[in-house]
Amino acid sequence: MDIETFLQNESQHPTDYRCGFVAIVGRPNVGKSTLMNHLIGQKISITSKKAQTTRNRVTGIYTDDTAQFVFVDTPGFQTNHRNALNDRLNQNVTEALSGVDVVVFVVEAMRFTDADRVVLKQLPKHTPVVLVVNKIDKDKAKDKFALEAFINDVRQEFEFTASEAVSAKHGLRIANLLELLKP
Ligand code: GDP
Ligand code: MG
């Protein structure tokens, strides 16, 4: 693309074109990396059954006609032991959260633990936090009433701006989530 075409394309963006930073947080294994891979449509983060695979903050970018999302994947909060590595991981999380426009707090459907609560306690108070209930494809989440009750219970734990139930693995309701994050 030559510079004139580029500038012409740029000027065609609507004046309300939005751009923002999105931090994805949650305890290990809730599906943060899987979610980010689906959000940006390419595999650049690391997913694994083993906790703590993602040791560095990874940034992905998703652009569409009306908005640009800059995603930050985080290693998750390490709560069991204090050691140099875990301190670094926690520091990365704190760094990732400072100055973002919206935080996405991911939990696993039908499973809210003390480790989730620890992460919630460390979230910024003046930044919008969107609750994402992931893994709704799992058998235990198939009961719609039970899932709704679970989401309501988690919503009691924190003042979330909004919530969405998704399956990162199967790409379910990911588009809904992006729409919800736009404002
Ligand atoms: P992270 O530690 O939060 O980054 O979690 P990962 O993205 O590494 O995922 C942890 C495990 O959960 C992996 O085995 C994923 O395949 C699995 N997983 C992630 N999302 C889903 C989902 O929507 N449904 C199911 N069934 N499994 C998922
Ligand atoms: Mg990860």
DSSP string, 34-103: HHHHHHHTS--S---SSTT---S-EEEEEE-SSEEEEEEE------S---HHHHHHHHHHHHHHTT-SEE
125 ligand 1 Cβ < 6 A: no
Distance 28 CA to ligand 2 centre (A): 7
User: pTM, whole model, 2 decimals?
Assistant: 0.80
> How is 97-156 classified by DSSP, letter by letter?
HTT-SEEEEEEETTB--HHHHHHHHTS-SSS-EEEEEE-TTSGGG--HHHHHHHHHHHHT
45 ligand 1 Cβ < 6 A: no
**Ligand 1, atom nearest to 138 Cα:** 26
**For 79-106, what is the mean pLDDT?**
74
Per-residue model confidence (pLDDT) at position 49: 47
* pLDDT confidence band for 118 (50 / 70 / 90): confident
168 ligand 1 Cβ < 6 A: yes
CA distance readout (Å), 1 to 9, 17, 64: 10, 21, 18
Statement: residue 162 has pLDDT above 80: yes
User: Crossing angle for the helix pair 174-181 and 32-40, nearest 10 degrees?
Assistant: 80
**For 117-135, what is the mean pLDDT?**
90
* pLDDT confidence band for 138 (50 / 70 / 90): very high
Range picked from 14-18, 82-86, 115-119 for highest mean pLDDT: 115-119
**For 69-86, what is the mean pLDDT?**
67
Per-residue model confidence (pLDDT) at position 29: 93
Give pLDDT tens digits for 4-58: 776 666 665 556 788 888 888 898 899 988 998 888 864 444 454 444 444 445 4
**Ligand 1, atom nearest to 106 Cα:** 3
Distance 34 CA to ligand 2 centre (A): 7
94 ligand 1 Cβ < 6 A: no
- Residue 25: both structure tokens together: 């947080």
Pocket test for ligand 1, best of 37, 46, 47, 56 (most atoms within 8 A of CB): 47
Distance 40 CA to ligand 2 centre (A): 15
